[in-house]
Structure 1
Amino acid sequence: MTSDGPRDLMTASTDAAELLGDAPLSAAEAGYVQAARAANTLRGYRSDWTEFSSWCAEHDHEPLPAAAAAISAYLTTLAGHGAKVGTMSRRLSAIRFAHRLRDLPDPTENARVVAVWEGIRRTHNTRPEQAAPLMPPQLWDVLDACPTTKTWKTPNRPKEPHLAGLRDRALILVGFVAALRRSELVGLDVADLAEHPNGMVIQLSRSKTNQRGDVDELVVLPRGTLPRRCPVAALQTWLEAAHITDGPLFRAVSKGNRALERRLTAGVVNTVVQAAVVRAGLVDEAQAGGYSAHSLRAGFVTYAHARGASDRAIAHQTRHRSLHTVGTYIRVDTAWDDNAATALGL
């Protein structure tokens, strides 16, 4: 057996038949096999499996089926080089997935691997790095810095609506108010929006916590009192300027200031947010990495809490299943709120 099989499956559904047994799969069956995992998950598995396979080749181990000693040594090597616990956990998931594809026993459940992994987690576990929250009043500065008018060096070419600026403005406002994950933002279609007297309702057919789409998740987008801070107005302005009536909601914009058919990728949302905070003067380019698409969701939770919203009300919008998870978003500066230590009179 070679290490290429699982990697190939993660690349194309046509390889599913080869990996899931001797009997070939029909095109429809192969398609469903590919749909069993989210595209981002498969890309991550592919990258992690390639890395593990390369390590095995260098250290004279078979990656499939992998021996417990190989996996424990691999984890020890990663820990020794400073890999994060989250990274190592993802690598284990890729190894587990590759073995299940071949209907092989899961080597990550071996007692040796479990013992080494538990020791690594106790020794090296650290708090996850959190993106800086983006919320008012800094959020208003970021929105105001988004360009709205496109000027040209070409003589006599009239000014036009700055499509990339209008898109970024709508993207940031919707991402903040709707508390959406970046994958959810770029996955939105015009058909997912429904008009409501109070604004709009976004219908998410799938999300990180609802990957099978068992239940439609509804997210509200209330109309703001000020047009320049209203997510509904920003979204409508973008759609009208870009002449978008159906298909992907947030799209790439050409250098010629035209909206393309191609939807944005999740990674581009990070770039949009980082460029926006630099443009607004919040940070310089060297510090922009502290912000990401997650800053919008984190900003919503932190700001809503500061405005008196309950954890349950916040979770209603963020769709967190656990109120404890919502609590992890509340930043250090809120630790002083309603705290008895401030009343000790020391």
Structure 2
Amino acid sequence: MDLIDSFLEGISSQQTRRAYRTDLRRFFSEGEVDTSLVQAIEPEGIQAFLRAMHRNDQSQSTQRRRLSALRRFFDWLIKQGDRTQNPARHPEVQLLRPDSRSSSRTLTKDETEALIEAALEPTRTGLRDRALILTIVFGALRRHEVASLDVDDIRPLGRYWVLDLQASQQHSGYVRIPETVVEAIEQMKDRYGIDRGRLWRSLSNRNRGTPMSPDAIYKVVRRVAGRAGLDAVSIDVLRRTGLQLALRGGADVPQVQAHGRLSDSSSAARLHDGEERSGRLGGSAVEYIDLDVLDVLSDP
């Protein structure tokens, strides 16, 4: 019997069982976890798993839960006689602290334009990658917001275009996007035959057409950033970049707060670069994101 399934039988909480099953399957990435596999795990492998979560901007609570799942699993294996030591409790296995530099990083206008241009380099995925990055930047989208977008979430509202955002505990509603982003999305949909369901799809031979997870979207962002010569670019960096470009373009703090679905004005104010801005209460912050993308759009 699969060792993960055997371990989970001893956990009474259904919610904990479900979370631990996901966490342990994510670590092992195997169809069946047997004795030979768990005996081969070393502390270095678990620390590499923690580093990968850190690079992927996983929340601290998710990282702590996954490490806890591994520690409890290997504690159980010791009791079963399948291990003599717990590699997840090794002194060198430690959660990485949030990177204060990366948590406030944004791209310049030139860097953002270089990123958008680099997205088109591979012809097979270029239209998707470009539309994805434009949508994150102009919509100032969070990980779950971009990953949960459906085709029908893009719609006109009066004279403008908006994205309907999936409701979460803190955020819901819609966000305005410019016509240039809609055009990029439409070119992508036409090229890949996407007319319903999830907007972002895998284009790999193995998983073609399946919805992309937040982790898969993150990997696309990092891959495109690498081609543009940029380091440590995440979905959250692109989100903050869009909001700061709006501020630099002339949007005021309340406009940025509304566009970014920020809970208070202090969050928007932290993006401010200190320059005085004239108060503009009308319109949306997206109007002030000034990026030269027309040339890229004209040559898909």
Question: TM-score, normalised on structure 2?
Answer: 0.62
Task: Pick the aligned partner of 2:68 from 34, 49, 64.
Answer: 49
For 1:329, what is the secondary structure of its paired residue? coil
2:253 paired residue number: 311
Percentage of identical aligned residues:
20
1:100 paired residue number: none
Q: In structure 2, do the counterparts of structure 1 residues 245 and 55 end up closer, same or farther at CA, with 3 Å as the change threshold?
A: closer
Q: Does residue 1:236 correspond to 2:186, yes or no?
A: yes
2:85 paired residue number: none
The letter for the 2-side match of 1:219 is V
Distance of 2:205 and 2:97 partners within structure 1 = 41
Alignment of structure 1 residues 19-38 onto 2, 5 Å: none
Alignment of structure 1 residues 68-107 onto 2, 5 Å: 83=95
Contact 1:131 1:292 in 2 (8 A): no
Structure 2 unaligned segments of length 5 or more: list them.
Answer: 1-6, 23-58, 80-89, 278-300
Contact 2:131 2:188 in 1 (8 A): yes
Contact 2:147 2:212 in 1 (8 A): yes
In the TM superposition, what whole-angstrom CA distance separates every residue of 1:219-261 from its partner, at most 9, and x where no partner exists?
11122xxxxxx211111110111111100101100349xx933
Q: Does residue 1:138 correspond to 2:111, yes or no?
A: yes
The letter for the 2-side match of 1:318 is G
Alignment of structure 1 residues 56-205 onto 2, 5 Å: 83=95, 127=100, 129-130=102-103, 132-147=105-120, 162-196=123-157, 198-205=159-166
Structure 1 unaligned segments of length 5 or more: list them.
Answer: 14-39, 61-76, 87-125, 151-161, 211-215, 224-229, 340-346
- Bigger relative contact order, structure 1 or 2 (CA pairs below 8 A, ≥6 apart): 2
Contact 1:301 1:314 in 2 (8 A): yes
1:220 paired residue number: 176
In the TM superposition, what whole-angstrom CA distance separates every residue of 1:26-57 from its partner, at most 9, and x where no partner exists?
xxxxxxxxxxxxxx999657514314536877
Contact 1:201 1:218 in 2 (8 A): yes
Q: Does residue 1:271 correspond to 2:219, yes or no?
A: yes
1:247 paired residue number: 197
Contact 2:154 2:164 in 1 (8 A): yes
Contact 2:203 2:209 in 1 (8 A): no
2:271 paired residue number: 329
Q: In structure 2, do the counterparts of structure 1 residues 131 and 41 end up closer, same or farther at CA, with 3 Å as the change threshold?
A: closer
1:200, CA displacement in angstroms? 1.8
Aligned residues: 222
Distance of 1:305 and 1:251 partners within structure 2 = 32
Contact 1:184 1:207 in 2 (8 A): no
Task: Pick the aligned partner of 1:9 from 4, 18, 40.
Answer: 18
Task: Pick the aligned partner of 1:261 from 209, 213, 218.
Answer: 209
For 1:252, what is the secondary structure of its paired residue? coil
Contact 2:130 2:184 in 1 (8 A): yes
1:293 paired residue number: 235
The letter for the 2-side match of 1:251 is R
Distance of 2:196 and 2:109 partners within structure 1 = 31
Distance of 1:41 and 1:191 partners within structure 2 = 33
Distance of 1:268 and 1:329 partners within structure 2 = 27
The letter for the 1-side match of 2:68 is W
Question: TM-score, normalised on structure 1?
Answer: 0.54
Contact 1:163 1:238 in 2 (8 A): no
1:157 paired residue number: none
Contact 1:198 1:222 in 2 (8 A): no
In the TM superposition, what whole-angstrom CA distance separates every residue of 1:306-333 from its partner, at most 9, and x where no partner exists?
1121111001111011111222334xxx
Q: In structure 2, do the counterparts of structure 1 residues 252 and 301 end up closer, same or farther at CA, with 3 Å as the change threshold?
A: same
The letter for the 2-side match of 1:218 is Y
Distance of 1:53 and 1:82 partners within structure 2 = 15
Q: In structure 2, do the counterparts of structure 1 residues 8 and 221 end up closer, same or farther at CA, with 3 Å as the change threshold?
A: same
User: Max radius of gyration: which structure?
Assistant: 1
In the TM superposition, what whole-angstrom CA distance separates every residue of 1:145-165 from its partner, at most 9, and x where no partner exists?
2236x7xxxxxxxxxxx3411
Contact 2:147 2:214 in 1 (8 A): yes
